[in-house]
Amino acid sequence: MTDDFPDDSPQDDDAPVQEPRLWKGNGWTARVIKNEDDEGWAVAMIKDGEPEPALVGPWTMGRDKKNPKPLDTNAFHTLVKTAAEVLRRHEQQLHAMLHKSTVVSHEGADIKVTLDIVPDDEHPYALLAAIDEEGERIAQVRISASFKLTPASATAWVENDFRKPS
């Protein structure tokens, strides 16, 4: 007798999964989990390829008041949208922390001074650059990642002929 459905058949990892407590699709996994802090339930949203959830939030109890409400299409789409927004805001915040700029006036011209931090695990550093009114870079130096870019520090750097700040 032959088995029409062998157990070792390849699984399609990209196929959507729609189970009461587990949904996969659109690059995301929603998993309903027991809330460790209380009697309730939570839902974790994990972006494909990421080790940690982008979002963990409370999940609704079902009618029996013991088990979680099953996931459905509308809930999954709302969770994907919310988790993607959380990631987008996190990326914007990280970008704002790593890339700063100010404009200073020097000899009648506006000079944009930028600070781009490179967050290397072993040797973080920053690039301090000056850009003229036409958008041309006129100077750049590698400095400590701890350098604080302010209008005063930018002015001092420009007035010191773009020498590396100490």
Tell me: the pLDDT tens digits for 78-99? 999 999 999 999 999 999 989 9
In sequence order, which residues have a C-beta less than 8 Å from that of residue 144 and are 6 or more positions away?
125, 126
Tell me: the pLDDT tens digits for 42-74? 999 999 999 999 999 999 988 888 889 999 999
Alpha helices in the chain (DSSP H): 73-98, 151-159
